[in-house]
Every structure is written in structure tokens, then in C-alpha cells.
A and B are shown apart, each in its own frame.
Chain A
Amino acid sequence: MRAPQSRTKKENVTATVDPAPRTLPPLGPNRKLKLPKQAERTLANGLTVIAVRRPAVPLVELRLWVPFGRTQLARGAMLAQTVLSGTETHTATQIAAELQKVGGGLAAGVDPDRLMLSGASLVSGLGRMLELLADVLTGATYPGDWVEIERDRLVDRIQVAQSQPAHLARTALLKRIYGRHPYAVQTPEPDQVRAVRPPVLRRLHGERVHPAGAVLVLVGDVHPDRALDAAEEALSGWKGDGQPAELPSAPPLEPGPLLLVDRPGSVQSSLRVALPAVPRTHPDHAALQLANLIFGGYFSSRWVENIREDKGYTYGPHSVVEHSVAGSVLVAGAEVATEVTAPALLETMYELGRLASLPPKEEELEQARQYALGTLQLGMSTQAGLAALVSAYAGNGLRLDFLAEHAARLAKATVEDVAEAGARYLAPANAVTVVLGDAERIAPSLATLTPVETSS
């Protein structure tokens, strides 16, 4: 390693001369969004495989999205927890060790839309990782002793989750938003988990872990066509079909009294506000995304500047449009000090109302637009980011070229479009609000702002 060298300054400015204000340098020309090389193939068994080249590091990212809607909650959760617990040819330990040999690892997770198997390995290990994935998909055995271990672990994890305010607030919000829809409850109760036995898991695997409708995404230092070949070779033996389970559309939000969930002794209140939203492909989506950014979707938003940087009520308020297969929703969330719960809600409603009833300033829109466009570039600049994006798009029937389309819509949206989206989607009159906190301390002041309904 060579020693650092000093370079002489080209400009001879010193700190003691006239402290004339310095001006912010302009941005250079925008670089056009460039999509990476990719290839796609649907195998004879119905599995769609998408391979994307990003050679930056000698790794490959893997995401397998298997549609999993309407799966019984505890069984679905247990299947994800145990799908890697052994096959006819490998124990769980062997699967993990074999993956490690190629620098790999696999993990499984579920949500109300899909089962996701994800992992990464050295690119030289892609073939082996696919073989092991195929082994799991076609031959997972759900051995009794492992199922028992994992059942207890899942129960423990659920108990820990249930002691976390963010989880409790989320649970109450989903229930309030979705009512009887399958999205309403996303975490099983410990007793339901305890009732799940291996035969049920084997049956569920047979019924639902199918290639038809599933999408495998491979991103990394690969040649897309060769990666498709490798996937075809490893996974064409994955069979099975059954009825895909269609999720009903998510119900529209039904505004009503603020739901206050009691958490005695809580030193903060978890504030959650849900608002209507539209899917990525809806003509209003780009304008809604911009309106959300201006409201609370990034640090330089009105809400964050107000309740954090001006008032110091909270650390990390955030507002995001969440997309699921059966519908989209905008959720704004903040953890605020107990004693300022009502004032924080007041400011939240004020900022929503302001965006719903007055157009944003041109420069606010430009700033949000640049952020939206720039973060698209940032999101695509890593293998893992790209894999997550391609998989999320594919699970919702979209391909990476939608990104260019979306960028074009973001670039075109006008102040009027965003004002209209603000009025349509961010109006506080449409909000469903849930607050988790110490009811005794916060209920009276919340009730001065809005009708409150308390649950414990």
C-alpha cells in the first residue's frame, strides 16, 4: 500500500478572507434509467424464471415467489418455518451445510400473498443452490422431531412479537382495516401453532407448493440465458398442480372513531393512520406516490419537518404506500411521547388536511419527484435490491420494464395531478386511525380531537 500523498490546493482560499456565502452547486445532467440485461422463460411445469445480470460482485441472489393466498394462517406459518427441515435425501443440517459449501443459504417466509424462499450464494454455487432448492420443493418431509422444535420456536417468537408495541399496533390496524378479509389477521395465535402436525404440513405442501404461477428470480453475476438453463435443469422435475386460490379484493376503508388500544404504562404512543391507495398500475399511482412523499414519505416531508424537526414529538415518523396482491393502502406511522399524543395527532391531521385541500408548491413537488426518481436508481444498484424489486413486481404480474413506465409517469405528474391525488387519497376524512398507548393518560386529550373507541 503506497503512502498517502499530499496534493497542493489549486485555489488559494483561506478561511480568514471575506466569508461570502457559498452557493449550492447545481446537479449535473440526469443519467437515463438503464435497465439491466435480462431473460425470462416459462418452464413446462408452469414455473416462470427471470434472470437478471448485475455482475458487480461474484454472487447470485435467488427469490422464489409461490402464490400462497388463503392458506390457513398457522399452517402457512409453520410450513415456512419447517420447509427447510429435511428431505428424503438430506437432513436439515445437511441442507444447511451443503448450502454453506457454496457460500449459500436459504430462508423461507410467508405473508398473506405468498410463500417466499430466498437466498444468496457465490455465483459458482448457483447450480448447487438450485439443486438443493429443488430437493426441498419436491421432497420436503417435515420430520416430526423438527416440526416439534420449530413449533416451539415459532410460539416463542410470536410471544416476543406480541410484547412489541409496533407489532401490537400493526395487528390492531390490520384488524380494523380488513375486517373479515384474509389480510385482517397475519400472525397466528400460539395455540393454533401448537395444533399443527407434520401430516398437515405435508398435505399443505402437496396442495399449494406448486410451480404453476410461481416465479423464480435470479440476479447477479450470471449470463441470463445460462442461468435460465440452470434453473430449468434443476427445477423441471418440480410438479404438482391444484387450484390457485384467488384472494378477494381488499375492502374499502371505512372511516370511524379513532380506535384506542390500551397498553398500560407505555412511555410512547404508537400512532397509525391508514388511508386509501391504488395499485402500482393505476393511473393515479405516480401522483399518489408524490403526494405521499410530500406529506410524510421521506425525511424532507411536511409531516417529518413538523412533528420531528420542529416539535420534537417523535424520532422516525414515516408514511408509505403498501402494495399487496388484493389491494393497496397508505399507512402513516409514528411513535410519539405519551404526553404529546394528541398534539401529534392534531399535526398529523393538519398536514393531511393541508395536502388534501391546498395544492403543493412547485418546488416541493420537484424535490419529491427527484427523490422518487433517484431512489429508483439507488434501489436497482445492488443485486439484493434488484432481486427484491424484480420479485415484488413479478409477484404482482409486472416486469422490470414497468420501472421505466413508472419513471415516465413520475416525471410527468403536475402540481394539479398531485393536488388531485392529495384530495382523493390523503383527506383526513377518509382516515382510519389506531393509537396504541396508555389509555388512561391519552384518552381524554385524544377525545378532544375526535371520537374515540377504546379496546384493551
Chain B
Amino acid sequence: MAARRSRIPATKYPVERFNLDNGLRVVLTPDRSAPVIGVAVVYDVGIRSEPEGRTGFAHLFEHLMFQGSENLEKLAHFRHVQGAGGTFNGSTHLDYTDYFETLPSNALERALFLEADRMRGPRLTEENLRNQVDVVKEEIRVNVLNRPYGGFPWLTLPPVMFDTFPNAHDGYGSFDDLESATVADAADFFRRYYASGNAVLAVSGDIDVAEATTLIERHFGDVPARPAPQRPDFTEPDLTAERRTSYTDKLAPLPAVASAWRVPDPHTDFLGYLPYVVLAEVLTDGDASRLVERLVQRDRTVTSVGGYLGFMGDPFDVRDPTALLLQAHLPPGGDVEKVLRTVDEELDRLATDGLAEGELARTQARMATHLLRDTDAVLGRALRMAVLEQQRAEPGLLNELPRLVGEVTDEQVRAAAAMLRPQRRATIEVIAGGAR
């Protein structure tokens, strides 16, 4: 390696871990550089676990966790967080659901109280359920139905690539399924998945570890113990023949296409998985990346191209099966076939000739910046560490990611590129129904 390269720096966020008797796993990562904290509770249940006939239920249930709990009326959670100067949210992913707040640090105990209260039990009522079904339907309209490229490709590509319900179905859900949801379904879902043994609590930022530990024991210690459910096997075999589907988006003015290829198991084969994370960036990060140079600048067959790991853009918080995705928007009348052929050609070229001098090092330096930038927000650290604890029992991996990404070699990236063959590819094409 003759190329001059930036030394990849690392963070040294400290990590404290412990378990409560009820099985709740706890991660603390103090950093007193600003008077703010992040609090995250992550439950090991997501879109893949929702039952057939109940598409969208994991997400709907996430909404119900904000509708009051054992000691809190409806609206109280929001008011108590924001009235402490904080912000909150929750989000539903393929493999987990998170709930989080970021607050001035004087609100630590309040945030713990709020999270513990709903871990003991949300108020599941018919009225709240109907109200949140309406809200979720508006969320789906605003994000999917009333806009061009809604759900592309995160909702439209999985059913092309996968055959089983858990991996293939629409995680936002059909209106029919959402409307059929009952309070009994919700109570059952809570009992099964929202167990103390199925959850991780992470607190980051301006905390004293001993004090935070005492407060966590005070508020979460008596959450009734329930074990984690057995996680079903979601594996599916790799594709052996190309799959391709198209649909007309009546609002879309321009064609678009996305392809996905399966990648190694991010948990059992992390070192085999990392080269794909780097490959996505080599292909698409910025004006000096392979596919931007070729497709956008030279051929002008696409107007934009992006590449990433995971259907929700989640390289380090998803389990197998997952994929590397490439997506592109084309100019009016663009030729999808030609774009796919060119991508194959560029992958071949990369697999055959390898990377140019310095190409890998500069990509890795840029990736380090992105990773470090994500951890600068106190909440980002709590969320990431909570999921790393849940899925890998290794929250400190967050500190290691820039270095691990930096250790991926030319040879590994070439080998990864060689695996992205057309016969392993699933493709979804958007036909521009709104072209003028």
C-alpha cells in the first residue's frame, strides 16, 4: 500500500453492561461533554415477527405503546418528555422495535420512570386502538400512497426477493389487516414479545454510572420477569435464478429500478459481511465512486444511484436474511435493461481488475466520518448500543466499527463484487405512470 492514507480514528465511549434479575439487559455509556442524555429501550420483535393476516401489526403496536400505561393517562408520555425539554419517538424495524428519548440530563429519572411504566403494560383500549389505526393509515398515505416512489424499494423489493411471509410481506400493512386488529391481538403481542427478558435498555450521555444504576434498579427492578420468546427461523435459501418484477407508479414522473443480492449473515459471519458494506460505498459514495462515474457521468443512463446494506438502510442492526441494494432513478424514457447490464459490467470489472490505487482507502476514510458523525448524537449512541447488545451482546462494537471497516482489504471487496451475479439478483422496476 503506497497510497497516502488518513489514519482512521476511533471513539472510546466507555461501556457498562449488566442484567437485572428480571432479565432486562442494560447498557450505560457515559459522556459528560454536554448536559444531555439518550434513553433507548429496544424490544426484540419487528416486522418479521408479525402474524399472517396482521401485516403492519408490529408498527401499529409501536403506536399503542405511546397511548398511556400503568400509571400514565393517554398523552401523558408525550407531555412528560417534552415538558422536561426532551424529544421522543419510536420506530419499527425488521428485527426490532425501539422507543427513545433525548433529554436534558436532569430528566434522567423521569425518562426511566416513563419507559419502565410502559414496559409493565400499555393501556390497550378499543378507543386508542381505533384512533391509532386512523393515524397509521394517514402515515401510510403520506409516506406511500399519496407520493411518487412510495415504499420504493423497501416495501416493493422484499416480495420479489423472498418467498416466506416474514421476509416478504408489507411491513406497513394493508388497510384491511390494520382495521381487523383487535385489543386482544395487542394484549397477546405485548405478553409474548414485550417481555423484560426480550428487551435492552441503553442510557448514554451525561450520567453518573453508579447513580444511573441505582435509578434503573429502582424503576425497572420490579418489572415482572418474563422470558424472551424463542426467535423463529427466518432463513431462506439464496436465489439461483434472477427474479424481476415491475409495477406502474401512477404518480412517478420518471422510471426507477432497484436490485438486491443476498449477503453473508451479518451475525455469524460478520467479517465476511463487512466487505459488502464497503463495496456499496465503493460503488456509490459520491462523484468519485464507480457507478456514479459510469452511470451518471459517462453514460448518463441514470440521474442518481445509491447503494446500501439492508432494506431499511441498516447495515449494523439487521439479522439474516438481508441484502445489498442498488437503486437508481432514470431519465425520461430511460432503459432499465441497459442500466442493469452496465452494473453487471462494472461489477465484473471490479471483480477482475480490483480497485485503483487509493480507491479503497479513501472510501474507508469517508465511511469513518459517517460512522463517527452518527455516534456524535447522544441518542444515536444509545440506540446503536442497545441494538448491538440485543443482537450481538457486544455494544462496544460501536467503537470498533471505523477500524473494522478500515481493515477490509482490496481482495475482500473484489470477492464481494464477484458474488453479485445476475442470477442471484432480485430486481424491481418502477414504470413511470406519471410521466408527462
State the A residues within 8 Å of B (CB): 1-2, 4-11, 13-15, 19, 21-31, 34, 54-59, 84, 92-97, 99-105, 120-122, 124-125, 146, 149, 152-153, 156-157, 159-160, 162-166, 266-268, 298-300, 305, 308-316, 335-337, 366-367, 370-375, 377-378, 380-385
Residue pair B83, A371 in contact (C-beta under 8 Å): yes
Residue pair A367, B142 in contact (C-beta under 8 Å): no
Report if B331 contacts A (CB, 8 A): yes
Given A13-B221, A100-B365, A268-B141, does the pair A6, B110 have CB atoms closer than 8 Å?
no
Stretch at the interface among B28-36, B161-169, B177-185, B269-277: B28-36
> In whole Å, how far is A398's beta carbon from the nearest beta carbon of chain B?
21
Q: How many chain B residues touch the partner (CB < 8 A)? A: 104
Choice from B34, B113, B136 contacting A377 with Cβ under 8 Å: B34
Contacts of A97 in B (CB 8 A): 288, 358, 362
8 pairs from A and B in contact (CB 8 Å cutoff): A5-B19, A93-B293, A146-B297, A300-B79, A312-B132, A313-B138, A315-B142, A377-B36
Complex Cα spacing A104 to B33, Å: 24
Complex Cα spacing A149 to B75, Å: 51
Choice from A8, A146, A156, A385 contacting B254 with Cβ under 8 Å: A156
Report if B404 contacts A (CB, 8 A): no
Report if B74 contacts A (CB, 8 A): yes
Residue pair B147, A164 in contact (C-beta under 8 Å): yes
Q: Could you give, for residues 94-127 of chain B, a 1 whenever the CB lies within 8 Å of some chain A CB and a 0 otherwise?
A: 0000000011111111100100010010000000
Residue pair A104, B20 in contact (C-beta under 8 Å): no
In the complex, residue of chain B having the shortest beta-carbon distance to the beta carbon of A5: B18
Residue pair B131, A309 in contact (C-beta under 8 Å): yes
In the complex, residue of chain B having the shortest beta-carbon distance to the beta carbon of A32: B35
Known: A2-B17, A312-B130, A374-B103. 20 other contacts (CB 8 A): A7-B18, A9-B21, A9-B222, A22-B113, A28-B107, A58-B372, A59-B373, A93-B297, A101-B358, A103-B6, A104-B366, A122-B369, A268-B141, A311-B134, A314-B135, A337-B134, A370-B85, A375-B87, A382-B378, A384-B373
Q: Which of A5, A10, A371, A377: most chain B Cβ within 10 A?
A: A377
> In whole Å, how far is B24's beta carbon from the nearest beta carbon of chain A?
11
Contacts of A23 in B (CB 8 A): 71
Contacts of B296 in A (CB 8 A): 149, 153
In the complex, residue of chain B having the shortest beta-carbon distance to the beta carbon of A14: B222
Contacts of B14 in A (CB 8 A): none
Given A92-B287, A377-B104, does the pair A299, B78 have CB atoms closer than 8 Å?
yes
> In whole Å, how far is B91's beta carbon from the nearest beta carbon of chain A?
14
Complex Cα spacing A232 to B251, Å: 49
Contacts of B79 in A (CB 8 A): 300, 367
Q: Which of A23, A125, A372, A382: most chain B Cβ within 10 A?
A: A382
Complex Cα spacing A156 to B432, Å: 13
Contacts of A95 in B (CB 8 A): 287
Contacts of B117 in A (CB 8 A): 22
Report if B423 contacts A (CB, 8 A): no
Complex Cα spacing A372 to B86, Å: 9
Choice from A7, A313, A384 contacting B376 with Cβ under 8 Å: A384
